[in-house]
């Protein structure tokens, strides 16, 4: 249990955790709930399966994003959430973004997607949380008895 919940009271990792959590909550809410202009669970899983993704994996991606976002914001099971985020971003890099190179398509050129730049940053943030834990002001620290 200690490896899952124990963490230093780092405010630096708190900032990384909360910002990553907000990003993933927002994108997960688009996928699962249809909030913020998203297509909801049916639309998103339909899109993913049209790209060749198995339906079970499409559901898993949607819920990992949504639940990891919530977990990261409050600092609950942060290492597991960081692993989930890293896995989803690695999958996105390999299947979608790699073919477009490194940089974001800042000019929004038609027919060209975004490169791996942003997903790589999110992957790194997820790995940092996987390694360091939740940091300060987290439920994980309370469970570990570190307060």
- pLDDT of 123 reads 98
pLDDT per residue, tens digit, the chain (147 aa), is 888 999 999 999 999 999 999 999 999 999 999 999 999 999 999 999 999 999 999 999 999 999 999 999 999 999 999 999 999 999 999 999 999 999 999 999 999 999 999 999 999 999 999 999 999 999 999 999 987
Select from 25, 50, 47 the least CA-distant residue to 36: 25
Range of the domain at 101: 2-27+63-143
Domain annotation covers residue 34 = no
Q: How many angstroms separate the CA atoms of 6 and 25, rounded?
A: 23
- pLDDT of 19 reads 98
Domain annotation covers residue 73 = yes
- pLDDT of 11 reads 98
Q: How many domains does the chain have?
A: 1
Domain annotation covers residue 83 = yes
Domain annotation covers residue 42 = no
Domain annotation covers residue 46 = no
Give the chain's length.
147
Complete DSSP assignment for 73-140: HHTSSHHHHHHHHHHHHHHHIIIIIGGG-SS--TT--TT----SHHHHHHHHHHHHHHHH-S-SS-HH
Domain annotation covers residue 33 = no
Domain annotation covers residue 19 = yes
Domain annotation covers residue 53 = no
In sequence order, the 6+-apart residues with CB closer than 8 A to the CB of 43 are 34
- pLDDT of 127 reads 98
């Amino acid at each position: 249990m200690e490896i899952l919940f124990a963490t230093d009271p780092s405010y630096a990792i708190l900032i990384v955790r909360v910002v990553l959590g907000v990003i993933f909550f927002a994108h997960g809410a688009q996928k699962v709930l249809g909030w913020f202009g998203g297509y909801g669970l049916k639309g998103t899983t339909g899109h993913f399966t049209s790209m060749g993704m198995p339906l079970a994996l499409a559901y898993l991606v949607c819920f990992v994003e949504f639940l990891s976002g919530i977990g990261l914001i409050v600092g609950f099971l942060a290492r597991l959430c960081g692993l989930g985020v890293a896995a989803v971003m690695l999958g996105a890099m390999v299947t979608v973004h790699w073919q477009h190179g490194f940089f974001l398509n800042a000019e929004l050129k038609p027919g060209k997607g975004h490169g791996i730049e942003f997903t790589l940053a999110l992957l790194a943030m997820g790995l940092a949380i996987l390694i360091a834990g939740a940091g300060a002001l987290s439920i994980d620290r309370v469970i570990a008895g570190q307060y």
